[in-house]
Amino acid sequence: MRDEIGDVRNRVRTIGPEKLRELLDGKEDWLLLDVRNDIEYERWKLEGKKTPETLHIPYFDFFDQEDEIIAGIPKGRPVAVVCAKGDSSAYVADLLNQRGYKAVNLKGGTVGWGDYYAARKIPGYPKAGKGGLFFQINRVGKGCLSYMLISDGEAAVVDPGRHIQTYLDLAKEHRTRITTVLDTHLHADHISGGPALAQATGATYFIQSADSEDAPLKRAPLTDGQIIEIGKSRIRVMALFLPGHTPGSTTYLVDDQYLLTGDTLFVDGVGRPDLGGKVVAWAHMLYDSLFRKLKDYRDDLVVLPTHFSNPAEMNGEGLVMGTLGKLRKTNAALQIGDEEGFVRYIQTQIKSQPPIYADIRLVNLQKKTVDEDEASEMELGKNECAAAPH
């Protein structure tokens, strides 16, 4: 069976996640054929800024109605076939090619798509003339964002995903040493790479103690207003405690220009405050953070969140960002001035949290250990961290 799979894979041309991203952003006219089962498809649909026409036909349907199903697939455009891991889709792509289609297989399937990271420079960084660089690293399939800040041979990484080689490779490419790793909060939708990255590099790892009490994490203390210097150019990261999504949610103010808001404030929506089962109490904390603690911060500060829910939140450069002033005018949650109205609004905007989130939090606290296959399974699907219109 393994040899047969290998033969089919060798016959069928593949595309990688980077090419898939181009297709999902509408840069070419393709047909997307998703052959996962109904449950997998409903849990996680592939979306982009201009998602191409998508057909969902479960793989096993081809066994019973091959001729009828293939006849219903339009010709004239290349077809990208997708499954969970890239095996079933290879067979379907091969069938289509035998019938005169131009079909390709997504290498690694949706698992590979979920593990794809793309780094883009954040424009206008004030230390650029001194060798400073600022990257937003987008785990596109999951809607997860992390950051690398570089100055004079030192780097800080904020909210890294579990695939730490991404950050090690980026640091090596820019001849820098990772000295600081920070999480904005205890993540629930994905496994943090923070502790592992700190261990691999000897960096100091920071997470607010309210999110990590009684956990065996090796971490440094983090206090409100603390300044962490990165490099000789004195790039400053200031911790501002803005609880609500979690009790220890922290926003980092970088060089008095960028707000790394974690899951407190998104471009569209705010962080869901129900993960601890205290939606009303935490929603009140979230209101206090957004409307009182952030009130006096300048409109021109650039908000850089840790998640996005919709590809439309990406700008023309593929970055998820917006000024605080713009978000104050366009983010629906920030239009509600009274506290009780805000709490009621939040309650209407959240769906039931995925049950797996409880286990992911335990993994991130190092109270539960999983292998690579288990970790991959736990992380399947887009994040569901926002309280936003849906």
Q: Angle at CA 273, nearest 5°, toward 269 and 167?
A: 70
Told to judge if 385 belongs to the known catalytic residues of this protein, a careful annotator would answer: no
Q: Find the catalytic residue in 24, 83, 155, 319.
A: 83
Residues 6+ apart with CB under 8 A from 325: 298, 299, 300
| Cα–Cα distance measured from residue 326 to residue 341, given in angstroms and rounded to the nearest whole number | 22
The encoded tokens of residue 3 equal: 């040899």
CA distance 49 to 59: 26
Q: What are the backbone dihedrals phi and psi of residue 166, each rounded to the nearest 5 degrees, phi first?
A: -55, -45
Question: Regarding beta strands 258-262 and 177-182, do their DSSP bridges make them parallel or antiparallel, or are they unpaired?
Answer: unpaired
Distance CA 154, CA 170 (A): 12
Cα angle for residues 96, 382, 150 (degrees, 5° grid): 110
Question: Can you read off the two tokens belonging to residue 23?
Answer: 């297709």
**DSSP conformational letter for 113:** H
Residue 282 CA to residue 274 CA, distance in Å, equals 7
| Tokens coding 317 | 């450069």
DSSP type of residue 163: -
SS3 311: helix
Active-site positions read 83
